[in-house]
Structure 1
Amino acid sequence: MDVYIARQPIFDRKLAIFGYELLYRRSMNNFYEGLDDTQATAELINNAFLTMHFSELTERTRAFINFSDDMLIDEIPKLLPRDTVFIEILETVEVTDELLEAVKSLRKSGYTIVLDDFVFSQRHLPLVDVADMIKIEFNNMNRAVQKMVIDKYRHKIKFIAEKVETREQFQDAMDMGYDYFQGYFFSKPMMIKSKEVSYLNINLIRILELLHHTEPDFEEIREVIATDLGLSYKLLRLANSVLIGKRHKITSVKRAMVQLGLLEMRKWIYIIMLKDFQMIENKELIKNCLIRAKMMELVAINEGKDAEKEDYFLAGMFSEIDVLMNRKMVDVVAELPLKESVRTTLLGGDNQMKQTLDHLIEREKNENSEQEKQDAELMTIYLEALAWVADIQMI
């Protein structure tokens, strides 16, 4: 799978590169293609830190990254290095007390706060008090107003002139006192393409191994999670989701682990592992695997096999993992810490779990049959699984 990022340099007054604004892209088309702000930033972070080499991407300078209201309030930027990641806040944010407290907390923690495309309206003014830098679209604000704003705040705030398109504009911005410059005059956003390879995340495998110990070492698990940006982000979102029934905002990996608990955490690590392979072309396949997993779990419960419900769940979840990864099932199973009964099921052996899985798969193929309609119990299980999958796909 190919992944993309666009970067546009930001220069200082000596025309040295101060940093790069990183922009999410879905293809080689060098423009934004409709993803909501939170998801776009999450994908950008994943691509910049997990797929590409971040230090090479920024040439060991600084990265300017936009964050949505939700990500700021959830303090997601704290998962990133404070010295090299500058937090951009768009003019579209809703300025609330909760948002302001989150931004103050980030600034207190050492992060640089940048107001992007800033508009000096009354409702945005509280953000100026917590800003380190302000970006102004050079051609979209009266020059006299720009000069007045720079003179008023220059003692505590650095200013970036963006969308500078000509030499004359650059010289005007220099004369007005801008500290940094960005725009087509210097460079258009440059596309960078990389390849994301399908593999089992080694951190997820390590966590699963630790979770399967008789007495799991939660501190060791926390340390593994804390080193994985993508996993930390996903667990924090999960712990704060309506699905888990949170009462208070969870802002640390340790609290997220406590909120989830041992059994739920193990299950969700497997779900995260599966969803890591999600692309447009296999989205329905992953959805079917999740439905199958939940149905297997519910069947086990209905048959009085509570002790085996997690194993039934995993057998359903990974029943198509070979197709998703384009690898042999025997090779994938060898990498996963699964019980022997689950291994046997996935590798085509004969046991009760395999018979249940085959039965569900057969019903999937004949879902409109008269027998299916008459099986009220199985239909109830299917509808419950469908609702569960709809919930987790929002996380």
Structure 2
Amino acid sequence: MLVLASVQNVPDLPTSPPRLWHLPRTGRHAPSLTSRTLVGRQGIFTAARDLAGYELLFRAPGRLGLRVDLWNARQQDRATEHVIAAAFHRGPHITEGLPAFVNFTRSYLVERDHLHCDPNQVVIEVVESAYADDALRARLGELRAQGFRVAIDDFIGTRSQVALLDHADFVKIDYRDLTARGPQLVDLARQSRCTLIAERLETAAALAECQQLSFDLFQGHCFEPAITVDRGLVGSRDDGIDAEFALA
């Protein structure tokens, strides 16, 4: 079983928590206002089907299939902040002590001094749209020095993603991209000696193919579907969360 080691001697976390987010009423890809706090969760497994972590995803009641990847960076940043607030600042943690992979944009990482989450709990999943300039690489170096681990999401071998390999601990490859680009994509990712995660595995055949290619961890419906965890009513003051706010 692959064990993801915890980090010791982490710095004190800032006391101000992140905020929950009321989505705007308008916009093609954004749902209406809601009074519930939801988080999507999908397990990441070893080949022996042992849980190694979870990916946490933004969810909103009444809307299925949100295309968060089509939102602008500011909206995506609000979604990230909402996930952190709902998952780690609102009652018991929902990852059962296992690492939580959370999507972060370049702007969220570079423009914030603190991520308001514990490096023992959170793996920074750098979204595919993040451009790997000097500022992002330097920031990832700082965060790794604090104990955070870094994953490259939806790796397809772009120049920008390759430039981040030396700053990453995990590389996630979507099975659809593997099918389109071939095993050389795995070879490129493996040069970094990162832990490789195959994601969006929908069938036993897809899983078998990725096992043959020696992926380390696996994620997809053939293990378990993503579920939605209800974290309760927003606006509750008993857990110290700030009231949610609308996107201006």
**Structure-1 separation of matches of 2:160 and 2:87:** 33
Aligned length: 207
Is residue 191 from structure 1 mapped to residue 225 from structure 2 by the alignment?
no
Higher helix share: 1
Question: Following superposition of structure 1 onto structure 2, how do residues 336-347 of structure 1 map, counting pairs within 5 Å?
Answer: none
Decide which structure has the larger Cα Rg and report it: 1
Does residue 143 (structure 1) correspond to residue 182 (structure 2)? The answer is: yes
CA distance in 2, matches of 1:84, 1:60: 7
CA RMSD of superposed structures (Å): 2.3
Which residue of the partner structure matches residue 366 of structure 1? none
- Give the superposition deviation at 1:25: 0.8
What corresponds to 1:31 in structure 2?
65
For residues 10-89 of structure 1, the aligned pairs below 5 Å read 10-32=44-66, 36-54=75-93, 57-75=94-112, 78-89=115-126
Contact 1:133–1:160, Cα closer than 8 Å, also in 2: yes
Structure-1 separation of matches of 2:194 and 2:49: 20
Q: Which residue identity is paired with 1:47?
A: A
Aligned to 2:205: 168
Within the candidate set 38, 44, 51, 1:4 is matched to: 38
CA displacement at 1:151 relative to structure 2: 4.7
**3-state DSSP class of the match of 2:177?**
coil
Determine the C-alpha separation between the residues in 2 that align with 1:128 and 1:33: 26
**2:113 & 2:149 partners in 1: Cα distance?**
14
Cα deviations across residues 30-82 of structure 1 (Å, max 9, x unaligned)?
4226562101111111111223421xx11221100011212211345642111
Q: Deviation digits for residues 287-307 of structure 1, max 9, x if unmatched?
A: xxxxxxxxxxxxxxxxxxxxx
Structure 1: 5+ residue stretches without partners: 204-229, 231-272, 280-392
Instruction: Note the residue ranges of structure 2 that are not aligned, 5 or more in a row.
Output: 1-34
C-alpha distance in 1 between matches for 2:135 and 2:234: 39
Amino acid at match of 2:135: E
Aligned to 2:21: none
Letter in 1 for 2:50: A
How far has the Cα of 1:8 moved from its partner?
Answer: 0.7
The residue correspondences of 1:1-395 to structure 2 (distance < 5 A) are: 1-32=35-66, 36-54=75-93, 57-75=94-112, 78-141=115-178, 142-153=181-192, 156-196=193-233, 198-200=235-237, 276=243, 278=245
CA pair 191-201 structure 1, distance change in 2 beyond 3 A: closer
Q: Which moved more, 1:114-123 or 1:45-54?
A: 45-54
Q: Is the 8 A contact 2:234 2:244 kept in 1?
A: no
TM-score scaled to structure 1, two decimals? Answer: 0.49
**Counterpart contact for 2:89–2:239, Cα < 8 Å:** no
**Contact map agreement 1:6 1:30 (CA 8 A) in 2:** no
Kindly state the Cα deviation for residue 29 of structure 1 after the two structures are TM-superposed. Answer: 3.4
Letter in 2 for 1:138: Y
Task: Name the TM-score, length of structure 2 as normaliser.
Answer: 0.75
Relative to structure 1, the CA distance from residue 53 to residue 148 in structure 2 (aligned partners, 3 Å threshold; closer, same or farther) is same
More strand by share: 2
Cα distance in 1, alignment partners of residues 52 and 128 from structure 2:
23
Identity between Structure 1 and Structure 2 (%): 25
Q: 2:37 touches 2:232 (CA, 8 Å); kept in 1?
A: yes
